[in-house]
Amino acid sequence: MADLAKIEEIRRFNRHYANILGKIDQEIYHKPYPLSEARVLAELYGKTGITATEIREKLGIDRGYMSRIIQKFEDDKLIAKKQAPSDKRQHLLHLTGSGEKVHLALVDEANKEVAKMIDSLTPHQLDQLTSAMHTVEKLLTHEEPQALSVLIRPFQPGELGYVSYLHGRLYNKAYGFSELFEYYVMKGLSEFLMDRQGGELWIAEVDGEIAGSIAIARVDGHTAQLRWFVLDDRFQGQGIGKSLMNTALAFCQAQNYRHIFLWTVHILEAARHLYSKYGFECTEQKPNAEWTDQELIEERWDLELVLH
Amino acid sequence: MADLAKIEEIRRFNRHYANILGKIDQEIYHKPYPLSEARVLAELYGKTGITATEIREKLGIDRGYMSRIIQKFEDDKLIAKKQAPSDKRQHLLHLTGSGEKVHLALVDEANKEVAKMIDSLTPHQLDQLTSAMHTVEKLLTHEEPQALSVLIRPFQPGELGYVSYLHGRLYNKAYGFSELFEYYVMKGLSEFLMDRQGGELWIAEVDGEIAGSIAIARVDGHTAQLRWFVLDDRFQGQGIGKSLMNTALAFCQAQNYRHIFLWTVHILEAARHLYSKYGFECTEQKPNAEWTDQELIEERWDLELVLH
DNA sequence: CGTTAGTAGTTGACTTAGTCAACTTATTTT
DNA sequence: AAAATAAGTTGACTAAGTCAACTACTAACG
């Protein structure tokens, strides 16, 4: 059960949005046709030879009501019927010229109403709005059951900066790491940028957002160091770390590295657990007093790769 | 007039969301009371002594309908009336115990319905959902006419990485700048991090997002260099650059710098225009062949500050 | 102070949008 | 060929809400 505060928030949004929609409807649709009828008209637009039942099923309208809507539209000369050749019970419907005109006028009204709603927004805000709407729509249409689309790919221009941002922010927020740590990360990354022979850095991208990273750096012909393994806290615990690790280790295999090691600190429990699951073993410990107030213990973990 | 494609998108979302809301309503409310009546009940909950008209005005309900709703609730013993002491026409309304129960049951139903709607989402997706909803709500409630809330503030842990990300991504995308440029930015920033005596770097934050940055670095007692002036392309042309510049120059005044200079490249037209508007003058040019394929011309611009 | 205008709430008559079930006609299944 | 099913029609009904006239009261003005 998702937590109640979120649900209340969503309900608040629902109420709010119902209001907005209500206002729009009122302004537009009370004009000549009620909403359901306008929707039937919209459904007919651009198609020819659709049947009443097809529309009914799509819009969820009662049979009797539908029949009367069709009659009314016929009386108003908005649509024309033709008996279906294949089934004499059905009629193929299509809009007449004035039906199209009426539909377009309704659409136009609706557009004007929406335009009024957004006319004070800057282009950037408009982008924000539509992208937020897409997010809502995508999340609430669980046609794609829920699988995050996680993409692991080599880094692109500028993204090393983002990796250092992730490190600096996360470790400061969670453990109070100092600027010295941030410096150490940035310096390492900028050196890596200039010399990454035999190494690579991957970005985990989730729905276009950067969620985390991992890197392999060459030490010597047989030895690689695993570095810059980080995951935005919002994306933790969803198997993305594992995907990153798999990518990095597969790369090591392909490059024929035999030994892989990494440096971490003892307080990173989740990471240590993952390392040991992949067969890494802690081989060295040393104190570090620079990065944070509490005494840290840096640890070196090693993994021997078996040849395939 | 905002462009039509966006409007159509928004209308699509409206239709879609109207559908979702419709489904929820149907499931819940057809039970004992229609939506408007449930809303009246909700309005009464937690308050005592509210009058019918107050509710009417808030919910936009017709007088006659309201009167009958109240009667029905009274018959069902959900509410009780008391004559208002100040005005013998009005009644002060309050829920009875069973009224509260009924309301809470309705809320509970609604919550369950929403929970069903979101039960396949991960916590992160749920965050995305509510934050997208907030965005929509905020943008469509133009109580704050439209002014972006731009906050200019000193950088926080990790954010220098983000600044380098902005540089790397923007200049690569727009002008094809190479990794060498990115390296140059990261290196400079990491050095600045360790020694920023007499300098500062500011972040422009828009709605919690990092939109851009500017920095002042000390050169000598009287001379400062303006660096790392960048703005995410989505936020350009909205006066944020100006705010950043004002902040930086005010800092220079406060620190008693007399000379400010900066290095830029000739292709950055918008920036050059801003510099000259603030009184900077181009004092030196030199070719740069490292950062991009085309021959770049680096320019030094200087500004003498007048003492106050 | 009394008149007038306005407000809170009530009531009856009405409308809109939609539902339900019975029915006709045609088609498909057995 | 009979039975079951589907498309569309029709009459009767209802829920939800609107409109206008009315009563009882209050506030504002001269």
Given a cut of 80, whether residue A148 has pLDDT beyond it is: no
**In angstroms, what separates the C-alpha of A264 from chain B's closest C-alpha?**
19
Strand arrangement of the beta sheet that strand B223-231 belongs to: B150-154, B200-206, B209-220, B223-231, B259-265, B296-304, B281-288
Given a cut of 70, whether residue B146 has pLDDT beyond it is: no
**In angstroms, what separates the C-alpha of B180 from chain A's closest C-alpha?**
8
- In the 3-class helix/strand/coil scheme, how is chain A assigned residue by residue? CCCHHHHHHHHHHHHHHHHHHHHHHHHHHCCCCCHHHHHHHHHHCCCCCEEHHHHHHHHCCCHHHHHHHHHHHHHCCCEEEEECCCCCCCEEEEECHHHHHHHHHHHHHHHHHHHHHHCCCCHHHHHHHHHHHHHHHHHHCCCCCCCCCEEEEECCCCHHHHHHHHHHHHHHHHHCCCHHHHHHHHHHHHHHHHCCCCCEEEEEEECCEEEEEEEEEEEECCEEEEEEEEECHHHCCCCHHHHHHHHHHHHHHHCCCCEEEEEEECCCHHHHHHHHHCCCEEEEEEEECCCCCCCEEEEEEEEECCCC
Q: pLDDT for B230-276, tens place per residue?
A: 999 888 888 899 999 999 999 999 999 999 999 999 988 888 999 99
What pLDDT is recorded for position A27? 65
Q: Is the CB of B85 under 7 A from strand D?
A: no
Q: Highest mean pLDDT: which of A16-25, A77-86, A119-128, B152-161?
A: B152-161
CB contacts, 8 Å: B168 with chain A: 157-161
Number of A–B residue contacts, CB under 8 Å: 250
Give the residue-averaged pLDDT of B149-171: 93
Give the residue-averaged pLDDT of B85-94: 83
Return the higher-pLDDT residue of B141 and B277: B277
Domain ranges of chain A: 4-140, 150-304
Hey, is B307 helix, strand or coil?
coil
Give the nucleotide with minimal C1' distance to the Cα of B86: D26
Return the higher-pLDDT residue of B238 and A211: A211
The answer to whether the Cβ–Cβ distance between B111 and A11 falls below 8 Å is yes
What pLDDT is recorded for position B139? 85
The answer to whether the Cβ–Cβ distance between A115 and B1 falls below 8 Å is yes
CB-closest option in B121, B137, B145 to A139: B121
Q: Do the first three CATH levels of B4-140 and B150-304 match, i.e. the same topology?
A: no
CB-closest option in B10, B127, B160 to A234: B127
Least confident of A301-305, B212-216, B292-296: B292-296
Q: Is the CB of A89 under 7 A from strand D?
A: yes
**pLDDT > 90 in chain B, percent:** 37
Q: Chain D: nucleotides under 7 Å from a protein CB?
A: 6-12, 15-21, 24-27
Q: pLDDT for A230-267, tens place per residue?
A: 999 888 888 899 999 999 999 999 999 999 999 999 98
Our CA angle for B50, B54, B57, nearest 5°, is 160
Given a cut of 80, whether residue B6 has pLDDT beyond it is: yes
Asked if the A4-140 domain carries CATH number 1.10.10.10, the reply is yes
* β strands within chain B, DSSP E: 50-51, 79-83, 91-95, 150-154, 200-206, 209-220, 223-231, 259-265, 281-288, 296-304
The answer to whether the Cβ–Cβ distance between A121 and B2 falls below 8 Å is yes
- Among A48, A31, A26, A29, smallest CA distance to A39 is for A29
Given a cut of 90, whether residue A213 has pLDDT beyond it is: yes
Q: Which residue on chain A is closest to B164 by alpha carbon? A: A161
Q: Provide the β-strand partners of residue A299.
A: A264, A285
CB contacts, 8 Å: B213 with chain A: none
What is the CATH topology of the domain spanning B150-304? Aminopeptidase (3.40.630)
What's the CA–C1' distance between B86 and D17, in Å?
Answer: 31
